[in-house]
Structure 1
Amino acid sequence: MARVVVVGAGLGGLAAAARLAAAGHAVTVLEQAPEVGGKLGWFARDGHGFDTGPSLVTLPQVLRDLFAATGAPLDDVLDLVRLDPAVTYRFADGTRVAVPGDLSGVREVLGPEWSALLDRAGEIWRATEQPFLRSPLQGARTLARLARSADDVRTVAPWSSLRGLGAQYLTDPRLRVLLDRYATYSGSDPRRAPAALATVPWVEQAFGSWYVRGGLRRLALAVAERAAQCGAVVRTSTPVTRVLVEGGRTTGVQLADGERVPADAVVVNADATALYDRLLPADAPVRRARAALARATPSSSGFVLLLALRGRTPDLAHHTVLFPDDYDAEFDGLFTDPRPLADPTVYVSAPDDPATRPDGDSESWFVLVNAPRHEPGRGVDWDAPGLADSYADRVLAVLARRGLDVRDRIRWREVRTPADLGRATGSVGGSIYGTSSNGARAAFLRPANASPLPGLYLVGGSAHPGGGLPLVTLSAEIVAGLVGPA
């Protein structure tokens, strides 16, 4: 039995804690915030409630595997509801498309071009799921696994961008815009992100989009409870300031109050850049990992409005996405010339769930636009006086221009910038996913789950295999395998 300290109680850390405790290890989870969940946050006021992070579950089998491996099955703990339609898209030309929640329906609504793309995406998924997404990142050995079959290499097309793959299959400009959107799931630019990201719409549409009744924060609470049932100790309001290194390996962590918590293994569910730059000593033997992070492009962030609204919106889907006239201008403003976007894509999550509103004549909207990260002096200073409120007004005006004017229905609003996200979660600059997928080698620059320092492991969206609830949960499974049984 090993003593394991998990730094951070986001989904990745909690899932790793549950698996490791179920395997017989002595696990302690240390979370800086007063509550568990990390980016799976929740905000409530005056009867209105909001998930402040992810708003849907994809690839639910990964969660089912987690719960099955650690105790009672998922369906005994959480109520997952399949969304249908999964999302309604509004394009700049006025077209509206409600995308069904099942693959056959998607193929019918989006047509033969999208169907052909999905067929290719399914082939990419089958070629990469086991050797890459479910396996540790091991440099040249990982490349060798992926390159074992020439047919698989041609299928994955590592030399092609997501935009380039779309050009092979899609002539309808609206479908091209729709495909581009999936690069933003990893905070990336479709012009530079790899074609393999086509697996994101494949997973979403093949396995469905799901909502946790009562809000996705219930998922984090359920995994935390499962970890505790397996024997893990969860300590909140306990910030870690240092990963301790002695004799060439990690020996535990130091807390803000000076307490030292010894460990045989440390699992870090925090931003990888924060770990390598702030939590480890400058002379820690992790030079290559730091250099890889320095070469990677940070992911984009998000600007969020939480809107408490009077009244109900007719025919409002659970998710609504409103696209701009010029999508490339958005990606330029995220990565090339960072600036608050003048005409951003707007994403609205408005669950029809009594847990999110005080009465039947109210709505609670989570509104998100992509945003460059907080980078004073080099990019956007989201703490600049007046910027947050003025940009919130701009986002509301964009919503109004695109047919969802709710300005006269607002009871109150809560504004959250990339700077706020960085402070709340420890993500450097508020980069939601750590590093982006920009560039053919981006996946291999992402920090591995086993760090170069013996005894130190990484889970969560900034580590391999990447961001999003399914991949974060897979990172925990990978780490539990690396640590091994008690």
Structure 2
Amino acid sequence: MSRVVVVGAGVGGLAVAARLAVAGHEVVVHERAEVVGGKLGRYERDGFVFDTGPSLLTLPQVFADLELGLDPVPLDPVVRHVFADGTVLDSASDPAVFRERIAAVMGAGAAADWERFWRRARRIWAASWRSVLRRPVSPASLAALSWRLADLRAVAPGRSLRALGYRHLRDPRLRMLLDRYATYAGADPRRAPAALAAVPYAELAFGGWYLPGGLHTLAEALSARCRALGVTVVPSSPVTAIRTAHGRVSGVDLADGGVAPADVVVANADALSVYRDLLPCPGRLAGLADRSLAGFVLLLGVRGRTPALAHHTVFFPSYYDAEFDAVFGDPGAGRPARPASDPAVFVTRANDPATHPDGDEAWFVLVNAPPHGTGWAAVDWQRPGLAAAYAEHVLAVLARRGLDVRDRLRFLEWRTPADLAAATGAPGGAIYGTAGSLVRPRNRGPVDGLYLVGGSAHPGGGLPMVTLSARIVADLIGPALTSSPRPRRARSKPGEFGAALRPNSP
């Protein structure tokens, strides 16, 4: 039986802990915070309950073999898009329904364009699922991809998501809709790889889902599953270093001065923190300095009901590029990163009585923001007065877009990238690690017995990708030698969770 220490109880850490426990390993998870879940956070005030991290579940099939007892509810629309000219477009998980909605508000030509793009996105998804998302990344695996010419043509290395949009979509509103998916990976669509077209395909082909009570219930289910399998989860137990001996890991140092011995260490921490702080490795730091977007968040307790809002509603500016120019900065032009003056505003309002008092609403409001720090690509979010002033500014932006909620507030709180960095250890409060990179840091570390799991490692950020990361790492580690053979993984069946699975689907 191998002793496994998992550093961090985020979704990736808990998912890999559960899988390794099933495989017969002795697993202990050390979490720096008082609660589990990592970025999948929860906040309560005056009867209002907020998900402070992800608010949308996609590809729920990838959680099936963890036996969490999830009961996700499909969302329609998945997202409501409100454009500056007043156009409202509701996305749907049925491709035919979404085409009809596009045709109704943008015309038959726009719908035909989307269908052409959709065929390309399907090829990108199939290639990604077949060759990238379920396998460890390595020079050998990338070389193998280069021999699959159809997959390579579909993924289109060297082409940006923006370029793909211009190739297929003539309506600037549809291109804006596509650009937003680059921000799911924390990236600028003008530089993000075209392979990110797999993200809207996965969301719209397999559906967007909500967990009653909030998405934080996923972390609670994972934690309960781990404990039922005999995993020890230790909160308020920061890890300060990863120990090695004779070229392999030997354990971890704890902030309280203790040492936890281990045959295997799985780091569910940001790759930058791992290779900069826990196990200094300058060679692995290359390419990790390009941090992803962070987010500035408002938590609003709102009086009354707002019929104009769907579960998720995004309000676009008239000129999206100004936001990207602001939040990413431009050192060549001498423009440092700064809060966007006219950002896209993403509002999550769950129609779930478990999340708000009767007759009121809990709003989670998100705008893209530079990470916290110094230098041209960051902003000092702890500068006195900045957060309060920007909170008022975001409310004013919403008012200009036709949703003035300022006289309906029961309370207003904000969360800055500095707050996320303090709560989760994410460097600068960046949400997704390296921004928009097609190839994330490898799951296998530079010394024997070290593995990386989570959104900053392969295959990337987002709940389903993090869970696939956990599956990859568990398979790399394998079953304990003294354990009985692992039970065969349950595969999702057509219709499970109400979603019909497509070819090449999870």
* Superposition TM-score, scaled by structure 1 size: 0.94
- Matched residue SS, 1:50: strand
Alignment-derived partner of residue 471 in structure 2:
477
Cα deviation digits, residues 209-256 of structure 1 (max 9, x gap): 000001001001101111111111111111111111222211111111
Unaligned runs of 5+ in 1: 68-73
Deviation at 1:107, TM superposition (A): 2.4
Alignment-derived partner of residue 460 in structure 1:
454
Alpha-carbon distance in 2 for matches of 1:177, 1:244: 47
Assess if the C-alpha contact under 8 Å between 1:304 and 1:367 holds in 2. Answer: yes
Alignment-derived partner of residue 351 in structure 2:
352
Q: How does 1:128-277 map to 2 (within 5 A)?
A: 128-138=128-138, 140-277=139-276
Cα deviation digits, residues 304-333 of structure 1 (max 9, x gap): 000001111124200000001111111111
Alpha-carbon distance in 1 for matches of 2:2, 2:151: 39
Assess if the C-alpha contact under 8 Å between 1:2 and 1:25 holds in 2. Answer: yes
Larger mean Cα displacement after TM superposition, 299-308 or 86-95: 86-95
Alignment-derived partner of residue 91 in structure 2:
99
Alpha-carbon distance in 2 for matches of 1:245, 1:318: 48
Say yes or no: does 1:369 pair with 2:329. Answer: no
Alignment-derived partner of residue 332 in structure 2:
none
Deviation at 1:288, TM superposition (A): 2.6
Specify which of 282, 299, 309 is matched with residue 316 of structure 1: 309
Alpha-carbon distance in 2 for matches of 1:292, 1:397: 37
Alpha-carbon distance in 1 for matches of 2:316, 2:286: 36
Alpha-carbon distance in 2 for matches of 1:150, 1:15: 34
Q: State the AA in 1 paired with 2:285.
A: R
Assess if the C-alpha contact under 8 Å between 2:91 and 2:204 holds in 1. Answer: no
Q: State the AA in 2 paired with 1:255.
A: L
Q: How does 1:329-478 map to 2 (within 5 A)?
A: 329-336=322-329, 337-359=336-358, 361-378=359-376, 379-437=378-436, 442-444=437-439, 446-478=440-472
Alpha-carbon distance in 2 for matches of 1:150, 1:268: 34
- Matched residue SS, 2:301: strand
Q: State the AA in 2 paired with 1:188.
A: A
Alignment-derived partner of residue 288 in structure 1:
283
Alignment-derived partner of residue 5 in structure 1:
5
Alpha-carbon distance in 2 for matches of 1:237, 1:32: 5
Runs of 4+ in 1 over 3 A off after TM superposition: none
Assess if the C-alpha contact under 8 Å between 2:418 and 2:429 holds in 1. Answer: yes
Assess if the C-alpha contact under 8 Å between 2:95 and 2:205 holds in 1. Answer: yes
Cα deviation digits, residues 45-88 of structure 1 (max 9, x gap): 11000000000111111111333xxxxxx4xx222100011111
Aligned-pair RMSD on alpha carbons? 1.1
- Matched residue SS, 1:293: coil
Percent identical pairs in the alignment equals 60
Alpha-carbon distance in 2 for matches of 1:152, 1:19: 30
- Matched residue SS, 2:288: helix
Assess if the C-alpha contact under 8 Å between 2:21 and 2:27 holds in 1. Answer: yes
Deviation at 1:273, TM superposition (A): 0.6
Deviation at 1:377, TM superposition (A): 4.7
Say yes or no: does 1:327 pair with 2:327. Answer: no
Q: State the AA in 2 paired with 1:482.
A: L
CA distance 1:275–1:114, change in 2 (3 Å): same
Alpha-carbon distance in 2 for matches of 1:419, 1:142: 37
- Matched residue SS, 2:339: coil
Assess if the C-alpha contact under 8 Å between 1:8 and 1:269 holds in 2. Answer: yes
Assess if the C-alpha contact under 8 Å between 1:128 and 1:146 holds in 2. Answer: no
Alpha-carbon distance in 2 for matches of 1:28, 1:397: 47
Alpha-carbon distance in 2 for matches of 1:377, 1:122: 39
Alpha-carbon distance in 2 for matches of 1:475, 1:408: 44
